[in-house]
Structure 1
Amino acid sequence: MKRIVTLLFTIGLIVVSCDQRKKDQPRQPNILLIISDQLNWDFFSAMGNEYVHTPNIDRLIKRGVRFDRSYAINPVCIPSRVSMFTGQRPTYFGFHIPKGIENEQVDVRAYVKSHQIASELKTAGYQAYYGGKDHFGWRDYAFKPEDLGFEVYSNGKEYRGVDCVPKAIATLKRHRGEHSGQPFFMVTSLMNPHDICYAHIRDNQFDLEKINERTDGGGWQDLLRESVLANLRIPEGETGAGGFEPIDYYLDNAPPLPDNYLPQSDEPSVISGIGEEGKGMAASFGRYRGQYDSIDWRLHRFAYVKFVEEIDREVGELLAGLEEAGYGDDTYIIFTSDHGEQNGAHQMAGKGFFYDEACHVPFIVSHSDFNETVDSTNLVSNGLDLLPTIFGLAGVQPKVQYEGKDISRVFLGQQSEVDRSYIPVEFSTGMGIVSKDFYYGIYYNGKEHNEQLYDMRKRPLQMVNDALDSTYQKDLTDHRVAFGLVNEQTLSAYKNPEGFYRHFK
C-alpha cells in the first residue's frame, strides 16, 4: 500500500511538473501577414508623405517596428511571391531568368509538394489560413496555397475589401469558436495599389474607353472596374462631382513630379532602347515613357495615391475585424508588399527595374506591446527572410535551412543586427546586390551601360551611374567581388555566363 501511495505521489509530481513546464513555455503567438501589391516603401502619411492619407497603416507603424531597408528579391509579382512562400530565389525555379540563359532549375510544383510550409506550422499546433491574391507562377507552371497546406478562405481572384476582407474576418471569428486553444497563421493578400496598372491616361485625361475595355470580363473584373472608376471619380463637394472632369481637380490634388523625373544618364540601353532593336523597357509593357507628358504623369501619381488609400481602408476593416474577433492585442501583424512602383520616376511606371522605387518595399511588424521603432540599419529581403521570420516567431524549427534570415530575433530584442552585408536582387534582365550604401547591378541583356553602381548616400535618386566615376573605383571593386560571392550558386546554375562574369572575374 505504501509503495502504491509513493508511486501515485511520484506520478502526481510528474504531472504537476509537466503542467508547470507548459505554463512556463511561451505561448505560440498569432501571426497575421498582410501583403499589398505594388506599394512603395514610404508612401504613408506617418512617414511624412503629405499627399496621401493612410491612418490605418499609420496605426501599424505607430505600434510597430518599421524596417526601412527592406527590398524585394525580384521587383515583379510572380517571382517575388514565389520567393516569399518558398524561401528560395525565383531563379532557383526558373522564374524571370534573363533572355539567353538556360539554367539548371528545380520544378517549383514538386518542391512545394515536398515543402509544405503551412503543414509544418499545423504540425506545430497552428491553424493556417490563406486568402486573396496568390500569383504563384503562370499557366501550368504554378502552385496554389492549398499545395502549401493552407486552408483557403478566399480564392485568388477575391482580393479586395468587398470579398477577401469579410471572409478573413469571418474566418477569424470561426477560429475563435472552433480552435480557441490554437494559434493561427493567416495570410491576407490584397490587390491594391496594383490597380494603378488600369488607370490609363490619354490626352491629359483618364482614358475611360481603355479602362472599360481592359476590365470587360465580368465577375472579378467587374469589381476591378468598379474599384478603378470609384477611386478616380471626382468626389462629392467638388466641381464635377461624380464625373472625371475638370482636370483642375486632379492637378490641384496630385503630388508633384518626382525629383528624379528625368531619365538617368548612362541608363542601361535595355531600358532606354537606345542602340537596341525595338523599344526599350521604359516604353514597353505599360511603362509609358514617350507616351505620357508631365501632366499625364501627375494624373498617374494622383491615381496611385487613391489606390494606396484604398488598401489603407481595407487594412482598417481587417484590423477592426481582428479586434472584434478578440485578437487585437494578441497578434503579430506583418505588413509588406511584393514590389514597388516607379510612379513617374525616370519617366516610367510599373515594376521590374533595378531602381529603388521598384525594389524598396515596406516591412512593418506590429504588435500591441510595441512602440514605434525605426530600423534603418538592417538589410531585409522580404522574399528570402519572410519564412525564416515566421518560423522563428512561431518557435518552429523549419525542415529547410533557408538562405534568408530570421528577422524576428531583431524585433523581439534578441539581437540588434542581422548578420549580412549584402542582399541579392534579381530582375528579368540581370542581377544585383544592395549593400549598406550602394546598389550594384549587372544587366545581362542590352548592349550598353550594363554595369551600374549607385551611391545611395550622396545620390539616392539614381540619376548617375557611379560605376563610371573613377573616385568610386574601390567601391566598384568591392561590390564586384561581393556580387560574385552573393550570387555564386545562381551564377553556377547559369554556367557562369560571360555577360555577368566579365565584370567581376
Structure 2
Amino acid sequence: MAKPKNILFIMFDQLRWDYLSCYGHPHLQTPNIDKLASKGVRFDRAYIQSPLCGPSRMSTYTGRYVHSHGASWNNVPLKVGERTMGDYLRDLGMGCWLVGKTHMKADAEGMARLGLEPDSVIGARVSECGFDVFERDDGMRPEGPDGFYDDGGALKYNEYLRIKGYESDNPWHDYANSANDGAGNVLSGWFMENSDKPANIAEDDSETPYLTRRGIEFIESRGDAPWCCHLSYIKPHWPYIVPAPYHDMFGPEQFLDVVRTDAERQTDHPVFGGMMKAPVGQAFSQTEVRDKVLGAYMGLIKQCDDQMEVLFDWLEKTGRMDDTMIVVTSDHGDYLGDHWLGEKTFCHDTSVRVPMIVYDPSAEADGTRGTVSDALVQLIDLAPTFVEIAGGNSADLDHVLEGQSLLPLLRGQKQLREYAFCEYDFSMTPLAKRLDLDTAEARLFMVTDTRYKLIEFGGGIRPMLFDRHDDPDELVDLGESDAHAGVMAQLSSALNTWARRPAQRTTITNETLRQTRSQRSTKGVILGAYGEADADADLTEKYRNRKAAPVRGA
C-alpha cells in the first residue's frame, strides 16, 4: 500500500455510535462500515465538541473548540477570520471539496467590512467554511409561514428530482421526506406518526444514494491531483422517514431497550428536567412515538451502510483504496427517548459520543489494522490529522489547532489525552427564557476522563456527575454526592485549566514565542541600564560618541 495522498472524510448526521454492529448493536447489521473498521482503527471513545449540528461541525472543520471559534449554535456565523481545514490543506497543495452538508452560515457582515465579495474565489471559500463546493446540500428545505428555513437548501437535489419526474414546488419534502396515501395526499415526514410509512420516492433517488453518486462523480473529476473530499451525508437525521424496502426492515423485537428511569424523570435539576419538558422530549417519552421512529432510524442507517458498499467497492475497483485515507464519523448522536429526551443538545454519551473509524492505507498503519482504540479522541483531532496526511506538521499550527493528530495512534504509538471537552450554548432556546438565564449564563460545559463525566452550568445551577464505570448508562446523577466531592473538584479544576488556555492567540506561533524568550532586543530599546557599562556594548553602539549642537536655552 502507498502512503495516502487523498482523504475521504465521511460524516453522517445524527448517527449514534451504538447503532453500528461493529460497536455492538445486536440486530442492526452494518457489514460495510464494519469492513472498513477491520482495515483501520475503530475509536471507542470519540467525543464531539458540541451536541448540535452547526457548532459541532464548525469545531471539526476549524480544529478548535466552540468558544474559540464562536459559532455556538445553528446559524451563528463562523467568524470571517477563522481558518479551516480547507485553508490548511490548500496551503499544502491539497484541494479540499464539499459534497453534502456543512450547516455553515457565512459571516456576511464581516465579509462586507473586509470587502470580500461572496462570488470571488476567496469570498466563496469564506462563505463555505473553507471548502470549494462540488455540491452543498444541507438536506433542509422545510417551509413555514415566514418562508424557507434555508433559502439555499436542497436546490440542486430538488432540480434533480424534478428532472426525474417528481413534480412539486418542493419535492425534497413532498417525495423524499414524506409518504403518500395512494390517493395523492402527502403524508409529511415531519409528523412522526408517518415514520413507519415508506417515503414516496424510488430508493435510488433518495438523498443517501444521490449523495453517494455525487461523491463518486467528484472523485472521478479529480484526476491525479491530491484531494480531500468531505462527503457529508444528511441522514439518519430527521425527518425520520425512509423509502422502501428500508421502511419496514426493523420492528420492536430488534429495537434496543430504552435507557431511562423514573428517578431521572423526577430530577430537580433545572436544565436536565427542563429539556425533558421540551416537546421533543415529551414526544419521545411515548412508546408509540419511539417505536415508529426507531424503525425508520434503523432503516436509514441500513441504507447508509448499503451505500458504503457501493462507495467502497468503487474505490477498490478504481485503486483509490490504496492511496486514500477514509474517515467515517458523525457530528453527534440522537437520544431517541433515552433519558426521557429526544434530539441531542445534552451530554449523555448517547448524544456526545460518536463512531469514529479511520482507515490509513500506509504501511506504517499495518500493525493497527482491525484494532479498537480506547484512547480519548475528539473530532477536532481530524484537522491536524489531515494536515499531516497532506505533508504538513500540525505542531507548527498548535497555536491555532486545538486537537491532536491521530497518526501516532493509527501507527502504533501511544498518545494519551487525559480529558475530552464538550460545550453547549443554549442562550437562544426557550429553556433559557423559562429559567430566566442571561445569555452569558445559559451555557454548559462537559469534561470527561476515562471514567467520570462532569457537567457544569452557568447561572449558579448545580453540576451533574456520572460514573461510567459503575453506571455505564449514566442513569445516576452524583452531582450532590459528598463521597464524590474530590472527583468533582479534580474534574472542575481540569475544566478551569482548559478554559484558561490562550485560544485566541492565533496570529503568532508558539514556537516564535518560545524563540523570543532567549533573543535580545537589537532594535535600540534598552531598559534597566543606569550607564553604558550596564548594557552590551554592541547594543549601545548607536548611542555612544554621538554629537549634536546644543539648543540655546535648553
Calculate the TM-score normalised by the size of structure 1: 0.71
Query: Of 443, 456, 466, which aligns to 2:457?
Result: 443
8 A contact 2:285–2:337 mirrored in 1: no
> Given the alignment of the two structures, is residue 194 of structure 1 paired with residue 170 of structure 2, yes or no?
no
The one-letter amino acid paired with 2:410 is F
Shift of 1:410: 1.2
**Secondary structure of the corresponding residue to residue 19 of structure 2:** coil
Q: For each residue in 1:14-37, what CA deviation from the matched residue of structure 2 results, as whole angstroms up to 9, or x when unmatched?
A: xxxxxxxxxxxx855321110011
8 A contact 2:97–2:133 mirrored in 1: yes
> Given the alignment of the two structures, is residue 426 of structure 1 paired with residue 396 of structure 2, yes or no?
no
Q: Match for residue 79 of structure 1?
A: 55
Query: Of 7, 16, 22, which aligns to 1:40?
Result: 16
8 A contact 1:154–1:164 mirrored in 2: no
> Given the alignment of the two structures, is residue 259 of structure 1 paired with residue 306 of structure 2, yes or no?
no
8 A contact 1:52–1:305 mirrored in 2: yes
The one-letter amino acid paired with 1:405 is Q
The one-letter amino acid paired with 2:275 is M
| TM-aligned CA distance change 1:491 to 1:165, over 3 Å | closer
Q: Match for residue 111 of structure 1?
A: 81
Q: Match for residue 132 of structure 2?
A: 151
- Give distance in 2, aligned partners of 1:335 and 1:188: 10
- Give distance in 2, aligned partners of 1:43 and 1:425: 22
1:17-166 to 2 correspondences below 5 Å: 27=3, 29-96=5-72, 108-112=78-82, 115=83, 117-137=85-105, 146-147=125-126, 148-157=129-138, 160-166=207-213
Note the residue ranges of structure 2 that are not aligned, 5 or more in a row. 112-122, 139-153, 158-206, 426-442, 506-554
The one-letter amino acid paired with 1:255 is F
Note the residue ranges of structure 1 that are not aligned, 5 or more in a row. 1-25, 98-105, 200-226, 236-248, 273-279, 494-505
| TM-aligned CA distance change 1:139 to 1:391, over 3 Å | closer
Q: In terms of Rg, which structure is larger?
A: 2
**Secondary structure of the corresponding residue to residue 354 of structure 2:** coil
Calculate the TM-score normalised by the size of structure 2: 0.65
8 A contact 1:91–1:490 mirrored in 2: no
Shift of 1:267: 5.6
Higher relative contact order (CA 8 A, sep 6+): 1
Shift of 1:256: 4.0
Shift of 1:297: 2.1
8 A contact 2:68–2:504 mirrored in 1: no
1:76-475 to 2 correspondences below 5 Å: 76-96=52-72, 108-112=78-82, 115=83, 117-137=85-105, 146-147=125-126, 148-157=129-138, 160-176=207-223, 180=224, 182-195=225-238, 198-199=239-240, 228-230=242-244, 233-234=247-248, 250-252=251-253, 254-260=254-260, 262=262, 264=264, 266=267, 268-272=269-273, 280-284=274-278, 286-289=279-282, 292-367=285-360, 369=366, 371-376=369-374, 378-382=375-379, 384-397=380-393, 400-401=397-398, 402-413=401-412, 415-418=413-416, 420-428=417-425, 429-444=443-458, 450-475=462-487
Q: For each residue in 1:82-129, what CA deviation from the matched residue of structure 2 results, as whole angstroms up to 9, or x when unmatched?
A: 1111112222343337xxxxxxxx9734214xx353243233232322
**Secondary structure of the corresponding residue to residue 110 of structure 1:** coil
| TM-aligned CA distance change 1:191 to 1:452, over 3 Å | same
Q: For each residue in 1:248-298, what CA deviation from the matched residue of structure 2 results, as whole angstroms up to 9, or x when unmatched?
A: x8334x4142233556264631231xxxxxxx22232x5232664223323
Q: How many residues align?
A: 398
Shift of 1:472: 1.4
8 A contact 1:67–1:375 mirrored in 2: yes
8 A contact 1:385–1:404 mirrored in 2: yes
- Give distance in 2, aligned partners of 1:27 and 1:490: 35
Higher mean C-alpha deviation, range 433-442 or range 258-267: 258-267
Shift of 1:77: 0.2
**Secondary structure of the corresponding residue to residue 68 of structure 1:** strand
| TM-aligned CA distance change 1:291 to 1:335, over 3 Å | closer
Shift of 1:394: 2.5
| TM-aligned CA distance change 1:56 to 1:262, over 3 Å | farther
Percent identity over the alignment? 25
Q: For each residue in 1:309-335, what CA deviation from the matched residue of structure 2 results, as whole angstroms up to 9, or x when unmatched?
A: 122122222212322332022221111
Higher mean C-alpha deviation, range 305-314 or range 78-87: 305-314
The one-letter amino acid paired with 1:251 is P
The one-letter amino acid paired with 2:418 is S
